[in-house]
């Protein structure tokens, strides 16, 4: 039972991350997706490109092939080229999440104690899932931070708005 609950919960957590990222991106103009804070920082577009590439590599044939696929070109995930349009970014973003959810929804509780390879390093399936949950959580946090910065006074909170905690709790019968 615990393993089934874990799988259900991890799908829900990934869905929450996707909702946060999509909610942040939706508040921006297209050109803002390509802005950076400084020369060393990544734009939201770059972060989306990287996460999409990672998802494609990690979750495609999840149980049967190494999570670092030979056709992945990780370094190019951090470069924006003329072919990186809003349409291509969204297409790859959607495809990455599809790989992830198809892989997770295809797992059985018995699969969790199996092993998979990531860069030829063995991981229990549950460890590989947790690794990616942490990785995507970090990048979604970056996307939300950057979007909030760029949207500035037009930002609509994706959680409990600042100064609204008591009203939020009261609305849920907690006060």
pLDDT at 163: 83
Least confident of 46-50, 132-136, 168-172: 168-172
The domain that holds 147 is classified in CATH as 1.20.120.450
Q: What percent of the chain has pLDDT over 90?
A: 89
Residue pLDDT, tens place only, 147-169: 999 999 999 999 887 888 888 78
Tell me the pLDDT band of 174, cut-offs 50, 70 and 90: confident
**Strand, helix or coil for residue 136:** helix
Looking at the structure of the chain, the number of domains it has is 1
pLDDT at 161: 78
CB under 8 Å to 58, separation ≥6 — which residues?
A: 67, 99, 100, 118, 128, 132
Q: Are 11 and 104 in contact (CB under 8 A)?
A: yes
pLDDT at 170: 84
- List, as one string, the DSSP characters of 42-95: PPHHHHHHHHHHHHHHHHTTTTTS-SS-TT--GGGGG---TT--HHHHHHHHHH
- 67 CB burial (10 A radius; 0-12, 13-18, 19+): buried
pLDDT at 162: 83
Place of tokens 């590989």: 128
**Strand, helix or coil for residue 108:** coil
Closest among 59, 57, 52, 58 to 102, alpha carbons compared: 59
Residue pLDDT, tens place only, 14-41: 999 999 999 999 999 999 999 999 999 9
Domain span at residue 53? Answer: 2-171
């Amino acid at each position: 039972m615990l393993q089934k609950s874990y799988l259900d919960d991890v799908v829900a957590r990934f869905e929450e991350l996707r909702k946060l990222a999509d909610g942040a991106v939706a508040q921006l103009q297209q050109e803002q997706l390509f802005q950076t804070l400084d020369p060393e920082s990544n734009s939201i577009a770059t972060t989306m490109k990287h996460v999409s590439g990672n998802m494609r590599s990690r979750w495609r044939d999840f149980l049967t092939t190494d999570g670092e696929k030979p056709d992945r070109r990780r370094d190019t995930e951090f470069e924006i080229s003329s072919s990186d349009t809003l349409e291509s970014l969204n297409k790859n973003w959607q495809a990455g999440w599809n790989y992830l959810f198809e892989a997770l929804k295809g797992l059985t509780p018995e699969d969790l104690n199996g092993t998979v390879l990531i860069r030829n390093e063995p991981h229990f399936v549950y460890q590989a899932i947790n690794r990616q949950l942490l990785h995507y959580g970090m990048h979604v946090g970056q996307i939300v931070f950057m979007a909030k910065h760029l949207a500035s006074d037009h930002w609509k909170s994706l959680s409990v708005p600042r100064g609204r905690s008591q009203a939020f709790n009261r609305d849920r019968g907690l006060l």
